Amino acid sequence: MRSTAIVVTLLACLGVAGCTSSSGIDGLAPSLETTSSIPRPDAAVPQVDVGAAAPAEAVVEAVQAEETAEPAVTPIALVAVPKPALREAPYATGKIHRHRFRDAKPINFGKRSPTKLAVHGVDVSRWQGEIDWPKLRSQGANFAYIKATDGGDHLDPMFKKNWRAAGEAGLRRGAYHFFYWCRTAGEQADWFIRNVPKAPGALPPVIDVEWNGESRCKKRPSRENVLEKMQVFMDKLEAHYGQRPIIYTAPDFYRDNLKGAFPNHPFWLRSVAAHPSTVYPGRKWVFWQYSGSGLSHGVEGRIDLNV
């Protein structure tokens, strides 16, 4: 999920401020997904080009200007009936905390380093344990995506606490769902909607799609079936929250299923060894997960870092 005007557009959107029963193969254990954590504004999040990053100072100055942008009308997915992108909604701007994160396994991204982007954040789940959210905020976490649900019947035991505490600490919050390929898309969408509240100013909901080697579900559907399931899930969430969902994915799953798909959906790309433009050529993004080995005051152990 990771040109000054491009980053400014993302900042305007972020506006940083303050299923049931299961059995057999459907009885899936909570996953150990690579994502540690992500709702969305009242309109589609603008997609960010993969061009060079702008200096943070220029971004902070430019964010003072109120911007609105209207994405072009394009089909949502290869399997979807074309429909227009949602209109971006303006958001009030607030203080941007410069990041002071460290990394247990730092990577040299060269001229396209994520450190050159102004708005940093985290994603979290129960695996981060108890989080000191005010301290994490002070370290430069301007937004947080929080693990909410897996499959059709698992709720992250820390979701409600993290959701409340992150909001109280002034972070922009979003929730994400880890998708299971052995459950129907409809019941997974219903489960997410049942557990994730509509909150003013929340980031868009996220569907986390990966191949999960830790799951008892070893099913790998065809690309056509993957896209159909994703479309059903995302349509239900968009209808409920009024926000177009963001797609989080990793390189192998993207290569197998998502090249050229969902051109009108925002993407959050995991790319921890190189810039997204190298790993996902031609794909625009709104969030870039650049590290899975981040370190920060306020969290014990490692945490995923994003821009």
- Among residues 26, 123, 153, 208, the one annotated as catalytic is 123
Q: Which of these, 204, 202, 193, 205, lies nearest to 171 by C-alpha position? A: 202
- Spatial separation of the C-alpha atoms in residues 247 and 229, rounded to whole Å: 13
210 among known catalytic residues: yes
Cβ–Cβ under 8 Å, residues 192 and 241: no
- Spatial separation of the C-alpha atoms in residues 233 and 45, rounded to whole Å: 18
Look up residue 94 and give its amino acid.
Answer: G
Cβ–Cβ under 8 Å, residues 206 and 241: no
123 among known catalytic residues: yes
Tokens of 5: 């005007």
Q: What is the DSSP letter of 283?
A: -
Tokens of 18: 């303050």
Cβ–Cβ under 8 Å, residues 298 and 281: no
- Among residues 150, 156, 187, 210, the one annotated as catalytic is 210
Q: Which of these, 134, 55, 56, lies nearest to 98 by C-alpha position? A: 56
- Spatial separation of the C-alpha atoms in residues 38 and 21, rounded to whole Å: 25
Cβ–Cβ under 8 Å, residues 91 and 67: no
The three-class DSSP label of residue 13 is helix
**166 Cα distance to chain centroid:** 16
- Spatial separation of the C-alpha atoms in residues 101 and 297, rounded to whole Å: 8
Q: Which residues are catalytic?
A: 123, 210
